[in-house]
A and B are shown apart, each in its own frame.
Chain A
Amino acid sequence: MTERFGSVSELRSALDAEQTSSRELIERSLQRASGVGERLSVFVDLQNDQAVAAADAADARRAAGETRSPLDGIPLVIKDNIVQQGERAGCASRILEGYVSPFDSTVVAKLRAAGAVVIGRANMDEFAMGSSTENSAYGPSRNPWDLERSPGGSSGGSTAAVAADIVPLALGSDTGGSIRQPAAFCGVVGMKPTYGRVSRYGLVAFASSLDQIGPLGRSAADCATLLDVISGHDPKDSTSLPEPALTTASALTGDVSGLTIGLPREYFETEGADPALLEKVRVAAGMLEAQGAKLVEVDLPHARYAVAAYYLIATAEASSNLARFDGVRYGRRAEGAANLKELYERTRSEGFGAEVKRRILLGTYVLSAGYYEAYYRKAQKIRTLLRQDFDAAFAGCDVLLTPTTPETAFRLGDKTEDPLTMYLSDIYTVSANLAGLPGVSLPCGLVEGLPVGLQVLGRPMEDAAVLRVADAYQRLTDHHLARPEDLA
Protein backbone atom coordinates (compact mmCIF):
# COMPACT_ATOMS: atom_id res chain seq x y z
CA MET A 1 0.00 0.00 0.00
CA THR A 2 1.53 3.28 -1.07
CA GLU A 3 1.45 6.31 1.20
CA ARG A 4 -1.05 8.08 -1.04
CA PHE A 5 -4.34 6.87 -2.41
CA GLY A 6 -4.37 5.89 -6.06
CA SER A 7 -7.42 6.10 -8.27
CA VAL A 8 -10.54 4.18 -7.36
CA SER A 9 -9.85 1.63 -10.09
CA GLU A 10 -6.30 1.15 -8.74
CA LEU A 11 -7.65 0.68 -5.24
CA ARG A 12 -10.15 -1.83 -6.53
CA SER A 13 -7.42 -3.77 -8.35
CA ALA A 14 -5.29 -3.77 -5.20
CA LEU A 15 -8.26 -5.07 -3.21
CA ASP A 16 -9.02 -7.76 -5.80
CA ALA A 17 -5.36 -8.84 -5.84
CA GLU A 18 -5.35 -8.94 -2.03
CA GLN A 19 -2.50 -6.43 -1.93
CA THR A 20 -4.55 -4.49 0.58
CA SER A 21 -7.84 -4.81 2.41
CA SER A 22 -10.70 -2.45 2.99
CA ARG A 23 -9.77 -2.56 6.69
CA GLU A 24 -6.32 -1.23 5.79
CA LEU A 25 -7.77 1.53 3.57
CA ILE A 26 -10.22 2.63 6.23
CA GLU A 27 -7.64 2.58 9.03
CA ARG A 28 -5.31 4.68 6.90
CA SER A 29 -8.12 7.15 6.21
CA LEU A 30 -9.07 7.36 9.87
CA GLN A 31 -5.46 7.84 10.89
CA ARG A 32 -4.99 10.70 8.45
CA ALA A 33 -8.37 12.11 9.39
CA SER A 34 -7.32 12.51 13.01
CA GLY A 35 -3.86 13.80 12.05
CA VAL A 36 -3.84 15.95 8.92
CA GLY A 37 -7.63 16.25 9.08
CA GLU A 38 -7.45 17.93 12.45
CA ARG A 39 -4.89 20.49 11.28
CA LEU A 40 -7.16 21.33 8.36
CA SER A 41 -10.38 21.27 10.45
CA VAL A 42 -11.90 19.02 7.85
CA PHE A 43 -14.29 16.98 9.99
CA VAL A 44 -17.15 17.72 12.30
CA ASP A 45 -17.57 14.04 13.15
CA LEU A 46 -15.62 10.82 12.60
CA GLN A 47 -17.39 7.47 12.54
CA ASN A 48 -14.47 5.22 13.51
CA ASP A 49 -16.29 2.19 14.85
CA GLN A 50 -18.98 2.08 12.18
CA ALA A 51 -16.37 2.55 9.44
CA VAL A 52 -14.14 -0.26 10.67
CA ALA A 53 -17.13 -2.60 10.97
CA ALA A 54 -18.28 -1.68 7.44
CA ALA A 55 -14.75 -2.28 6.13
CA ASP A 56 -14.63 -5.73 7.70
CA ALA A 57 -17.99 -6.53 6.15
CA ALA A 58 -16.68 -5.40 2.74
CA ASP A 59 -13.59 -7.59 3.14
CA ALA A 60 -15.78 -10.56 4.04
CA ARG A 61 -17.93 -9.97 0.94
CA ARG A 62 -14.86 -9.75 -1.27
CA ALA A 63 -13.48 -12.98 0.19
CA ALA A 64 -16.81 -14.66 -0.54
CA GLY A 65 -16.87 -13.34 -4.11
CA GLU A 66 -19.88 -11.10 -3.38
CA THR A 67 -18.46 -7.64 -3.99
CA ARG A 68 -21.34 -5.23 -4.47
CA SER A 69 -19.97 -2.43 -6.65
CA PRO A 70 -16.79 -0.62 -7.73
CA LEU A 71 -17.03 1.32 -4.46
CA ASP A 72 -17.32 -1.68 -2.17
CA GLY A 73 -14.93 -1.13 0.74
CA ILE A 74 -13.74 2.29 -0.48
CA PRO A 75 -13.61 5.12 2.11
CA LEU A 76 -15.32 8.42 1.58
CA VAL A 77 -16.63 11.41 3.53
CA ILE A 78 -19.93 13.19 3.23
CA LYS A 79 -20.88 16.77 3.86
CA ASP A 80 -22.62 17.59 7.14
CA ASN A 81 -25.88 18.53 5.37
CA ILE A 82 -26.53 15.00 4.01
CA VAL A 83 -28.25 12.85 6.62
CA GLN A 84 -27.41 9.33 7.76
CA GLN A 85 -29.72 7.29 9.95
CA GLY A 86 -28.52 7.24 13.56
CA GLU A 87 -25.80 9.84 13.00
CA ARG A 88 -25.62 13.50 13.89
CA ALA A 89 -26.27 15.91 11.04
CA GLY A 90 -25.68 19.50 12.00
CA CYS A 91 -25.04 21.48 8.80
CA ALA A 92 -22.17 23.05 10.79
CA SER A 93 -24.78 25.09 12.66
CA ARG A 94 -25.41 25.59 16.36
CA ILE A 95 -29.13 25.42 15.73
CA LEU A 96 -28.92 21.72 14.83
CA GLU A 97 -26.64 20.75 17.70
CA GLY A 98 -27.50 17.28 18.89
CA TYR A 99 -29.78 16.41 15.97
CA VAL A 100 -29.62 12.72 15.09
CA SER A 101 -31.24 11.74 11.81
CA PRO A 102 -34.00 9.11 11.98
CA PHE A 103 -33.52 8.26 8.30
CA ASP A 104 -30.96 7.83 5.54
CA SER A 105 -30.74 10.27 2.66
CA THR A 106 -31.19 8.48 -0.65
CA VAL A 107 -27.53 9.01 -1.59
CA VAL A 108 -26.39 7.44 1.68
CA ALA A 109 -28.79 4.51 1.20
CA LYS A 110 -27.29 3.99 -2.26
CA LEU A 111 -23.75 4.22 -0.92
CA ARG A 112 -24.55 1.68 1.80
CA ALA A 113 -26.05 -0.66 -0.79
CA ALA A 114 -22.89 -0.25 -2.89
CA GLY A 115 -20.69 -1.12 0.10
CA ALA A 116 -18.91 2.26 0.26
CA VAL A 117 -17.63 3.17 3.70
CA VAL A 118 -18.42 6.57 5.19
CA ILE A 119 -15.62 7.51 7.61
CA GLY A 120 -16.97 10.85 8.75
CA ARG A 121 -18.87 14.04 8.20
CA ALA A 122 -17.17 17.00 6.62
CA ASN A 123 -17.05 20.60 7.78
CA MET A 124 -18.91 23.16 5.67
CA ASP A 125 -20.26 26.69 5.65
CA GLU A 126 -23.32 26.79 7.91
CA PHE A 127 -26.31 25.47 5.91
CA ALA A 128 -24.04 25.57 2.81
CA MET A 129 -24.08 29.37 2.82
CA GLY A 130 -20.64 30.63 1.92
CA SER A 131 -17.67 30.31 -0.39
CA SER A 132 -14.89 29.78 2.15
CA THR A 133 -16.05 27.39 4.95
CA GLU A 134 -15.46 30.32 7.32
CA ASN A 135 -19.16 30.38 8.24
CA SER A 136 -18.98 27.03 10.03
CA ALA A 137 -19.96 27.03 13.71
CA TYR A 138 -16.91 24.77 14.17
CA GLY A 139 -14.45 27.26 12.69
CA PRO A 140 -12.97 27.37 9.18
CA SER A 141 -11.40 24.52 7.28
CA ARG A 142 -7.97 25.17 5.77
CA ASN A 143 -6.56 24.68 2.31
CA PRO A 144 -4.00 21.83 2.16
CA TRP A 145 -1.93 23.87 -0.34
CA ASP A 146 -1.56 26.77 2.09
CA LEU A 147 -2.97 26.59 5.58
CA GLU A 148 -3.48 30.35 5.70
CA ARG A 149 -5.87 30.14 2.77
CA SER A 150 -9.47 29.01 2.42
CA PRO A 151 -10.29 25.66 0.81
CA GLY A 152 -13.31 27.40 -0.71
CA GLY A 153 -16.86 26.60 0.18
CA SER A 154 -19.31 25.56 1.07
CA SER A 155 -18.06 21.97 0.57
CA GLY A 156 -14.61 23.01 1.85
CA GLY A 157 -14.25 20.13 4.31
CA SER A 158 -15.20 17.43 1.80
CA THR A 159 -12.87 18.92 -0.79
CA ALA A 160 -9.89 19.41 1.51
CA ALA A 161 -10.28 15.80 2.68
CA VAL A 162 -9.77 14.61 -0.91
CA ALA A 163 -6.95 17.09 -1.61
CA ALA A 164 -5.11 16.05 1.57
CA ASP A 165 -5.35 12.37 0.65
CA ILE A 166 -7.52 11.48 3.60
CA VAL A 167 -10.05 9.83 1.30
CA PRO A 168 -10.19 9.22 -2.44
CA LEU A 169 -13.81 10.39 -2.74
CA ALA A 170 -16.29 12.72 -1.07
CA LEU A 171 -19.82 14.02 -1.44
CA GLY A 172 -20.58 17.71 -1.46
CA SER A 173 -23.55 19.85 -2.41
CA ASP A 174 -23.56 22.65 -4.96
CA THR A 175 -26.13 25.47 -4.81
CA GLY A 176 -24.13 28.17 -6.60
CA GLY A 177 -20.72 26.54 -7.04
CA SER A 178 -20.19 24.92 -3.64
CA ILE A 179 -18.58 21.80 -5.14
CA ARG A 180 -16.79 23.33 -8.14
CA GLN A 181 -15.29 26.41 -6.45
CA PRO A 182 -13.60 24.45 -3.60
CA ALA A 183 -12.50 21.81 -6.13
CA ALA A 184 -10.75 24.61 -8.04
CA PHE A 185 -9.16 26.03 -4.87
CA CYS A 186 -7.90 22.63 -3.68
CA GLY A 187 -6.79 21.11 -7.01
CA VAL A 188 -9.30 18.25 -7.23
CA VAL A 189 -12.24 17.35 -9.47
CA GLY A 190 -15.75 18.30 -8.38
CA MET A 191 -19.00 17.94 -10.26
CA LYS A 192 -22.48 19.40 -10.09
CA PRO A 193 -24.74 17.00 -11.99
CA THR A 194 -27.76 18.09 -14.00
CA TYR A 195 -30.45 19.23 -11.56
CA GLY A 196 -32.65 16.25 -10.72
CA ARG A 197 -30.10 13.58 -11.60
CA VAL A 198 -29.22 12.92 -7.97
CA SER A 199 -31.93 12.73 -5.34
CA ARG A 200 -32.08 15.57 -2.84
CA TYR A 201 -34.03 13.46 -0.34
CA GLY A 202 -32.14 13.82 2.93
CA LEU A 203 -30.11 16.83 1.81
CA VAL A 204 -30.95 19.66 4.21
CA ALA A 205 -32.40 22.24 1.85
CA PHE A 206 -30.77 25.63 1.31
CA ALA A 207 -32.29 26.76 -2.01
CA SER A 208 -34.40 23.92 -3.35
CA SER A 209 -34.48 24.87 -7.03
CA LEU A 210 -30.66 25.14 -7.12
CA ASP A 211 -29.25 22.54 -4.67
CA GLN A 212 -27.66 19.42 -6.09
CA ILE A 213 -25.50 16.72 -4.47
CA GLY A 214 -22.38 15.76 -6.40
CA PRO A 215 -19.07 13.90 -6.29
CA LEU A 216 -15.54 15.08 -5.47
CA GLY A 217 -12.44 13.05 -6.34
CA ARG A 218 -8.99 13.08 -7.88
CA SER A 219 -10.12 12.43 -11.43
CA ALA A 220 -13.11 12.67 -13.71
CA ALA A 221 -13.12 8.87 -13.85
CA ASP A 222 -13.38 8.58 -10.06
CA CYS A 223 -16.18 11.16 -9.98
CA ALA A 224 -18.02 9.26 -12.73
CA THR A 225 -17.81 6.06 -10.70
CA LEU A 226 -19.32 7.76 -7.66
CA LEU A 227 -21.93 9.66 -9.69
CA ASP A 228 -23.16 6.48 -11.35
CA VAL A 229 -23.77 4.93 -7.92
CA ILE A 230 -25.71 7.87 -6.43
CA SER A 231 -27.75 8.97 -9.47
CA GLY A 232 -31.16 7.81 -10.66
CA HIS A 233 -34.84 8.50 -10.14
CA ASP A 234 -36.11 8.68 -6.57
CA PRO A 235 -39.85 8.74 -5.85
CA LYS A 236 -39.07 10.37 -2.48
CA ASP A 237 -37.84 13.52 -4.25
CA SER A 238 -40.57 15.23 -6.30
CA THR A 239 -37.90 17.07 -8.34
CA SER A 240 -36.02 13.89 -9.24
CA LEU A 241 -35.91 13.28 -12.98
CA PRO A 242 -37.71 10.13 -14.13
CA GLU A 243 -34.52 8.67 -15.58
CA PRO A 244 -32.47 5.62 -14.65
CA ALA A 245 -29.08 5.83 -12.94
CA LEU A 246 -26.31 7.35 -15.04
CA THR A 247 -23.65 5.31 -16.77
CA THR A 248 -21.10 8.06 -17.26
CA ALA A 249 -18.04 5.95 -16.46
CA SER A 250 -18.52 3.99 -19.68
CA ALA A 251 -18.60 7.23 -21.71
CA LEU A 252 -15.02 8.19 -20.82
CA THR A 253 -13.38 7.28 -24.10
CA GLY A 254 -10.72 9.98 -24.18
CA ASP A 255 -11.97 10.99 -27.62
CA VAL A 256 -12.90 14.62 -28.21
CA SER A 257 -12.54 14.68 -31.97
CA GLY A 258 -15.56 16.22 -33.66
CA LEU A 259 -16.65 17.90 -30.44
CA THR A 260 -17.29 21.64 -30.55
CA ILE A 261 -16.12 23.53 -27.48
CA GLY A 262 -17.50 27.00 -26.79
CA LEU A 263 -15.51 29.70 -25.03
CA PRO A 264 -17.92 32.28 -23.56
CA ARG A 265 -16.57 35.69 -24.51
CA GLU A 266 -17.99 37.43 -21.44
CA TYR A 267 -16.25 35.05 -19.05
CA PHE A 268 -12.87 36.08 -20.41
CA GLU A 269 -13.68 39.76 -20.09
CA THR A 270 -14.81 39.70 -16.45
CA GLU A 271 -13.54 42.67 -14.50
CA GLY A 272 -11.16 41.63 -11.73
CA ALA A 273 -10.46 38.13 -13.07
CA ASP A 274 -6.80 37.11 -12.82
CA PRO A 275 -5.36 37.03 -16.38
CA ALA A 276 -3.04 34.17 -15.39
CA LEU A 277 -6.06 31.95 -14.71
CA LEU A 278 -7.74 32.87 -17.99
CA GLU A 279 -4.54 31.99 -19.83
CA LYS A 280 -4.51 28.51 -18.25
CA VAL A 281 -8.03 27.96 -19.60
CA ARG A 282 -6.99 29.08 -23.09
CA VAL A 283 -4.01 26.71 -22.99
CA ALA A 284 -6.29 23.84 -21.94
CA ALA A 285 -8.67 24.67 -24.79
CA GLY A 286 -5.71 24.60 -27.19
CA MET A 287 -4.73 21.14 -26.01
CA LEU A 288 -8.22 19.81 -26.65
CA GLU A 289 -8.22 21.49 -30.06
CA ALA A 290 -5.01 19.63 -30.89
CA GLN A 291 -6.92 16.42 -30.16
CA GLY A 292 -9.51 17.21 -32.79
CA ALA A 293 -12.03 19.37 -30.93
CA LYS A 294 -13.24 22.52 -32.60
CA LEU A 295 -13.13 25.80 -30.67
CA VAL A 296 -15.71 28.53 -31.13
CA GLU A 297 -16.40 31.76 -29.30
CA VAL A 298 -19.92 32.06 -27.91
CA ASP A 299 -21.87 34.81 -26.19
CA LEU A 300 -23.67 34.72 -22.87
CA PRO A 301 -24.97 38.29 -22.95
CA HIS A 302 -26.65 38.16 -19.52
CA ALA A 303 -23.68 36.61 -17.71
CA ARG A 304 -22.99 39.74 -15.70
CA TYR A 305 -26.43 39.56 -14.07
CA ALA A 306 -26.12 35.97 -12.86
CA VAL A 307 -24.73 36.63 -9.39
CA ALA A 308 -27.37 39.24 -8.57
CA ALA A 309 -30.22 37.02 -9.81
CA TYR A 310 -28.73 34.06 -7.97
CA TYR A 311 -28.55 35.79 -4.60
CA LEU A 312 -32.13 37.01 -4.83
CA ILE A 313 -33.50 33.58 -5.74
CA ALA A 314 -31.25 31.62 -3.37
CA THR A 315 -31.95 33.84 -0.36
CA ALA A 316 -35.69 33.92 -1.06
CA GLU A 317 -35.77 30.11 -1.09
CA ALA A 318 -33.48 29.93 1.94
CA SER A 319 -35.67 32.22 4.02
CA SER A 320 -38.56 29.85 3.37
CA ASN A 321 -36.59 26.62 3.89
CA LEU A 322 -34.98 27.79 7.13
CA ALA A 323 -38.33 28.75 8.66
CA ARG A 324 -38.54 25.15 9.92
CA PHE A 325 -35.77 25.73 12.45
CA ASP A 326 -37.90 27.00 15.30
CA GLY A 327 -36.71 25.14 18.39
CA VAL A 328 -39.86 23.00 18.61
CA ARG A 329 -39.26 19.78 16.71
CA TYR A 330 -35.50 19.31 16.61
CA GLY A 331 -32.18 20.88 17.35
CA ARG A 332 -31.50 23.48 19.94
CA ARG A 333 -34.03 25.52 21.91
CA ALA A 334 -33.42 28.80 23.70
CA GLU A 335 -34.04 28.66 27.44
CA GLY A 336 -36.70 30.55 29.33
CA ALA A 337 -38.92 31.96 26.55
CA ALA A 338 -42.23 33.27 27.91
CA ASN A 339 -44.27 32.58 24.78
CA LEU A 340 -44.05 30.92 21.40
CA LYS A 341 -42.97 33.97 19.40
CA GLU A 342 -40.18 34.67 21.84
CA LEU A 343 -39.15 31.01 21.66
CA TYR A 344 -38.85 31.21 17.87
CA GLU A 345 -36.96 34.50 17.92
CA ARG A 346 -34.53 33.61 20.64
CA THR A 347 -33.85 30.12 19.33
CA ARG A 348 -33.17 31.38 15.82
CA SER A 349 -31.15 34.39 16.93
CA GLU A 350 -28.92 32.28 19.16
CA GLY A 351 -28.70 29.34 16.76
CA PHE A 352 -27.95 30.91 13.37
CA GLY A 353 -24.65 32.54 12.50
CA ALA A 354 -24.26 35.97 10.90
CA GLU A 355 -24.21 34.90 7.25
CA VAL A 356 -27.30 32.72 7.62
CA LYS A 357 -29.13 35.58 9.34
CA ARG A 358 -28.04 37.96 6.59
CA ARG A 359 -29.43 35.66 3.89
CA ILE A 360 -32.68 35.00 5.74
CA LEU A 361 -33.14 38.76 6.10
CA LEU A 362 -32.36 39.43 2.44
CA GLY A 363 -34.70 36.62 1.37
CA THR A 364 -37.50 37.82 3.63
CA TYR A 365 -37.04 41.38 2.35
CA VAL A 366 -37.17 40.47 -1.33
CA LEU A 367 -40.28 38.34 -0.81
CA SER A 368 -42.09 40.98 1.24
CA ALA A 369 -44.99 43.06 -0.05
CA GLY A 370 -43.81 45.86 -2.29
CA TYR A 371 -40.51 44.22 -3.18
CA TYR A 372 -41.58 40.84 -4.53
CA GLU A 373 -42.10 42.11 -8.09
CA ALA A 374 -39.06 44.37 -8.10
CA TYR A 375 -36.61 41.78 -6.83
CA TYR A 376 -37.74 38.17 -6.72
CA ARG A 377 -39.91 38.26 -9.85
CA LYS A 378 -37.26 40.25 -11.70
CA ALA A 379 -34.58 37.71 -10.76
CA GLN A 380 -36.76 34.87 -12.04
CA LYS A 381 -37.10 36.67 -15.38
CA ILE A 382 -33.33 37.12 -15.56
CA ARG A 383 -33.11 33.39 -14.91
CA THR A 384 -35.19 32.85 -18.05
CA LEU A 385 -32.82 35.05 -20.05
CA LEU A 386 -29.78 33.17 -18.72
CA ARG A 387 -31.34 29.87 -19.76
CA GLN A 388 -32.06 31.28 -23.20
CA ASP A 389 -28.41 32.41 -23.44
CA PHE A 390 -27.25 28.86 -22.73
CA ASP A 391 -29.76 27.39 -25.19
CA ALA A 392 -28.42 29.70 -27.88
CA ALA A 393 -24.80 28.94 -27.01
CA PHE A 394 -25.39 25.19 -27.02
CA ALA A 395 -27.00 25.44 -30.44
CA GLY A 396 -23.49 26.03 -31.72
CA CYS A 397 -21.35 23.88 -29.44
CA ASP A 398 -21.43 20.74 -27.30
CA VAL A 399 -19.79 21.99 -24.12
CA LEU A 400 -18.48 25.26 -22.72
CA LEU A 401 -14.99 25.71 -21.31
CA THR A 402 -14.57 28.44 -18.69
CA PRO A 403 -12.54 29.33 -15.63
CA THR A 404 -14.11 28.00 -12.42
CA THR A 405 -13.12 30.99 -10.30
CA PRO A 406 -11.81 34.50 -11.01
CA GLU A 407 -8.82 33.98 -8.68
CA THR A 408 -6.97 31.25 -6.80
CA ALA A 409 -7.68 30.44 -3.13
CA PHE A 410 -7.92 33.63 -1.09
CA ARG A 411 -6.59 34.11 2.43
CA LEU A 412 -8.81 33.26 5.37
CA GLY A 413 -10.38 36.46 6.64
CA ASP A 414 -9.83 38.39 3.40
CA LYS A 415 -13.49 38.51 2.40
CA THR A 416 -15.36 38.08 5.66
CA GLU A 417 -15.98 41.79 6.19
CA ASP A 418 -17.66 42.31 2.83
CA PRO A 419 -20.22 39.65 1.90
CA LEU A 420 -20.53 40.99 -1.64
CA THR A 421 -16.87 40.31 -2.54
CA MET A 422 -17.38 36.77 -1.20
CA TYR A 423 -20.50 36.34 -3.36
CA LEU A 424 -18.56 37.40 -6.45
CA SER A 425 -16.18 34.45 -6.09
CA ASP A 426 -19.06 32.37 -7.52
CA ILE A 427 -19.32 34.48 -10.66
CA TYR A 428 -18.49 31.63 -13.09
CA THR A 429 -20.43 28.90 -11.29
CA VAL A 430 -23.88 30.24 -10.34
CA SER A 431 -25.31 30.23 -13.86
CA ALA A 432 -25.13 26.45 -14.09
CA ASN A 433 -27.35 26.19 -11.00
CA LEU A 434 -29.83 28.74 -12.31
CA ALA A 435 -30.08 26.85 -15.61
CA GLY A 436 -29.80 23.33 -14.13
CA LEU A 437 -26.73 22.43 -16.21
CA PRO A 438 -24.11 19.81 -15.37
CA GLY A 439 -20.69 21.28 -14.63
CA VAL A 440 -17.34 19.92 -13.58
CA SER A 441 -14.23 21.67 -12.28
CA LEU A 442 -10.84 20.06 -12.73
CA PRO A 443 -7.28 21.23 -12.05
CA CYS A 444 -5.43 22.80 -14.99
CA GLY A 445 -2.17 23.88 -13.37
CA LEU A 446 -0.82 26.14 -10.67
CA VAL A 447 -0.46 29.91 -10.42
CA GLU A 448 2.00 31.02 -7.75
CA GLY A 449 1.86 27.57 -6.22
CA LEU A 450 -1.93 27.41 -5.98
CA PRO A 451 -4.30 25.26 -8.05
CA VAL A 452 -6.38 26.68 -10.89
CA GLY A 453 -9.78 25.25 -11.85
CA LEU A 454 -11.01 24.60 -15.38
CA GLN A 455 -14.79 24.35 -15.70
CA VAL A 456 -16.66 22.31 -18.31
CA LEU A 457 -20.40 23.02 -18.63
CA GLY A 458 -22.82 20.95 -20.68
CA ARG A 459 -26.40 20.82 -21.82
CA PRO A 460 -28.94 19.55 -19.28
CA MET A 461 -28.83 15.72 -19.14
CA GLU A 462 -25.42 15.61 -20.81
CA ASP A 463 -23.49 14.79 -17.65
CA ALA A 464 -21.46 12.21 -19.53
CA ALA A 465 -20.28 14.81 -22.06
CA VAL A 466 -18.73 17.11 -19.45
CA LEU A 467 -17.03 14.19 -17.73
CA ARG A 468 -15.79 12.91 -21.07
CA VAL A 469 -14.09 16.24 -21.84
CA ALA A 470 -12.64 16.43 -18.32
CA ASP A 471 -11.35 12.88 -18.58
CA ALA A 472 -9.85 13.50 -22.03
CA TYR A 473 -7.96 16.51 -20.65
CA GLN A 474 -6.71 14.45 -17.70
CA ARG A 475 -5.36 11.81 -20.09
CA LEU A 476 -3.28 14.56 -21.72
CA THR A 477 -2.01 16.22 -18.54
CA ASP A 478 -0.89 15.41 -15.03
CA HIS A 479 -2.23 18.46 -13.19
CA HIS A 480 -4.64 16.24 -11.25
CA LEU A 481 -1.67 14.29 -9.91
CA ALA A 482 -0.05 17.39 -8.38
CA ARG A 483 -0.34 17.32 -4.61
CA PRO A 484 0.39 19.73 -1.80
CA GLU A 485 3.41 18.97 0.36
CA ASP A 486 2.52 16.24 2.78
CA LEU A 487 1.15 17.68 5.98
CA ALA A 488 1.54 14.60 8.12
Chain B
Amino acid sequence: MSRIAPEDAKRVAELARLRLDDAELPAMTAHLERILEYVDLLMEVETDGIEPTAHAIPLATPTRSDEPAGEFTPEQAVANAPDADGTAFCVPKVLDDEAAS
Protein backbone atom coordinates (compact mmCIF):
# COMPACT_ATOMS: atom_id res chain seq x y z
CA MET B 1 0.00 0.00 0.00
CA SER B 2 2.90 2.37 0.58
CA ARG B 3 4.36 3.88 -2.51
CA ILE B 4 6.26 7.05 -1.97
CA ALA B 5 7.25 9.29 -4.88
CA PRO B 6 10.03 11.92 -4.79
CA GLU B 7 7.39 14.66 -4.59
CA ASP B 8 5.87 12.95 -1.51
CA ALA B 9 9.28 12.87 0.13
CA LYS B 10 9.72 16.54 -0.68
CA ARG B 11 6.33 17.42 0.80
CA VAL B 12 7.06 15.49 3.99
CA ALA B 13 10.44 17.20 4.21
CA GLU B 14 8.73 20.57 4.05
CA LEU B 15 6.37 19.56 6.87
CA ALA B 16 9.41 18.51 8.92
CA ARG B 17 11.25 21.76 8.06
CA LEU B 18 14.00 19.93 6.24
CA ARG B 19 15.30 20.53 2.74
CA LEU B 20 16.31 17.70 0.49
CA ASP B 21 18.52 18.81 -2.35
CA ASP B 22 18.44 17.15 -5.76
CA ALA B 23 21.37 14.93 -4.84
CA GLU B 24 19.74 13.67 -1.62
CA LEU B 25 16.17 13.22 -2.84
CA PRO B 26 16.41 9.98 -4.91
CA ALA B 27 18.33 7.99 -2.28
CA MET B 28 16.15 9.24 0.58
CA THR B 29 12.98 8.41 -1.36
CA ALA B 30 14.29 4.91 -2.12
CA HIS B 31 15.20 4.30 1.53
CA LEU B 32 11.78 5.45 2.74
CA GLU B 33 10.12 3.26 0.14
CA ARG B 34 12.10 0.22 1.24
CA ILE B 35 11.33 0.80 4.94
CA LEU B 36 7.63 1.34 4.23
CA GLU B 37 7.53 -1.84 2.17
CA TYR B 38 8.99 -3.69 5.13
CA VAL B 39 6.58 -2.24 7.69
CA ASP B 40 3.70 -3.29 5.45
CA LEU B 41 4.13 -6.72 7.00
CA LEU B 42 2.14 -5.33 9.95
CA MET B 43 -0.92 -5.29 7.73
CA GLU B 44 -1.16 -9.08 7.90
CA VAL B 45 -1.98 -8.84 11.63
CA GLU B 46 -5.66 -8.57 12.51
CA THR B 47 -5.92 -5.72 15.02
CA ASP B 48 -9.64 -4.90 15.06
CA GLY B 49 -10.72 -4.47 18.66
CA ILE B 50 -7.15 -4.23 19.96
CA GLU B 51 -6.52 -1.17 22.10
CA PRO B 52 -3.41 0.81 21.09
CA THR B 53 -0.59 1.14 23.64
CA ALA B 54 1.04 4.56 23.76
CA HIS B 55 3.24 3.82 26.72
CA ALA B 56 4.75 0.66 28.16
CA ILE B 57 4.03 1.53 31.77
CA PRO B 58 0.58 2.91 32.56
CA LEU B 59 1.06 5.99 34.73
CA ALA B 60 -1.41 8.67 35.69
CA THR B 61 -0.26 12.20 34.98
CA PRO B 62 1.49 13.32 38.15
CA THR B 63 0.64 16.67 39.67
CA ARG B 64 2.48 18.98 42.02
CA SER B 65 1.44 21.96 44.05
CA ASP B 66 1.02 25.12 42.00
CA GLU B 67 4.06 26.93 43.30
CA PRO B 68 6.77 28.58 41.23
CA ALA B 69 9.87 26.39 41.06
CA GLY B 70 13.01 28.19 39.96
CA GLU B 71 14.90 26.49 37.18
CA PHE B 72 16.88 28.89 35.03
CA THR B 73 17.41 32.60 35.23
CA PRO B 74 16.56 34.47 32.02
CA GLU B 75 20.30 34.88 31.43
CA GLN B 76 20.86 31.10 31.69
CA ALA B 77 17.93 30.48 29.39
CA VAL B 78 19.48 32.50 26.55
CA ALA B 79 23.10 31.54 27.27
CA ASN B 80 23.11 28.96 24.46
CA ALA B 81 21.24 31.09 21.93
CA PRO B 82 23.03 31.59 18.62
CA ASP B 83 21.72 35.17 18.62
CA ALA B 84 20.36 36.94 21.69
CA ASP B 85 19.76 40.51 22.80
CA GLY B 86 19.73 40.84 26.55
CA THR B 87 17.31 38.17 27.63
CA ALA B 88 15.55 37.85 24.27
CA PHE B 89 16.13 35.32 21.49
CA CYS B 90 16.67 37.03 18.15
CA VAL B 91 15.15 35.63 14.96
CA PRO B 92 14.84 36.90 11.39
CA LYS B 93 11.75 38.92 10.51
CA VAL B 94 8.57 36.91 10.76
CA LEU B 95 6.48 39.34 8.70
CA ASP B 96 7.65 40.69 5.38
CA ASP B 97 7.87 44.42 4.77
CA GLU B 98 4.56 44.61 2.96
CA ALA B 99 2.67 42.78 5.70
CA ALA B 100 4.37 44.83 8.39
CA SER B 101 3.49 48.21 6.84
Contact = CB atoms under 8 A, between A and B. Distances in A.
A434 interface: yes
A329 B96 contact: no
A384 B51 contact: yes
B59 A196 contact: yes
A283 interface: no
Interface stretch (A121-129, A168-176, A254-262, A339-347): A339-347
Contact of B45 (A100, A302, A340): A302
B65 to A, nearest CB: 11
Interface in B66-101: 71-72, 76-83, 89, 91-94, 96
Contacts of B12: 361, 364-365, 368
Nearest to A208: B55
A67 B53 CA distance: 45
Which residue of B12, B77, B79 has the most chain A CB atoms within 10 A of its CB atom?
B12
Nearest to A376: B52
A166 interface: no
Nearest to B44: A305
Interface class of chain B by DSSP: loop
Nearest to A102: B76
Contact of A331 (B53, B61, B80): B80
A231 to B, nearest CB: 14
Nearest to B59: A239
Interface of A: 98-100, 102-103, 194-196, 209-210, 235, 238-239, 241-242, 302, 304-305, 308-309, 311-312, 319, 323, 326-333, 337-346, 348-349, 352, 354, 357-358, 360-362, 364-365, 368, 374-375, 377-385, 387, 418-420, 423, 433-436, 460
A98 B57 CA distance: 35
Contacts of A344: 17
A422 B62 CA distance: 37
Given A328-B89, A381-B51, 11 more contacts: A102-B72, A196-B59, A209-B56, A312-B39, A331-B82, A339-B94, A349-B20, A357-B28, A365-B4, A382-B45, A460-B57
Nearest to B41: A308
25 contacts: A98-B80, A102-B79, A103-B71, A239-B57, A239-B59, A308-B42, A319-B16, A328-B82, A329-B80, A330-B81, A331-B82, A333-B83, A348-B16, A349-B18, A349-B20, A357-B18, A361-B12, A361-B18, A362-B35, A365-B36, A368-B15, A381-B52, A381-B53, A384-B53, A420-B34
Interface string B28-52: 1001101110110111010100111
Interface residues of B, number: 54
Contacts of B57: 194-196, 239, 241, 436, 460
Contacts of B15: 364, 368
A420 B59 contact: no
B52 A420 contact: no
The 6 closest A-B pairs by CB, nearest first: A436-B56, A380-B52, A333-B82, A330-B80, A381-B47, A308-B39
A300 to B, nearest CB: 14
A238 B80 contact: no
A385 B50 contact: yes
Contacts of B31: 358, 419
B52 A375 contact: no
Contacts of A210: 56
Contact of B16 (A194, A361, A379, A385): A361
A247 B47 CA distance: 39
A347 to B, nearest CB: 9
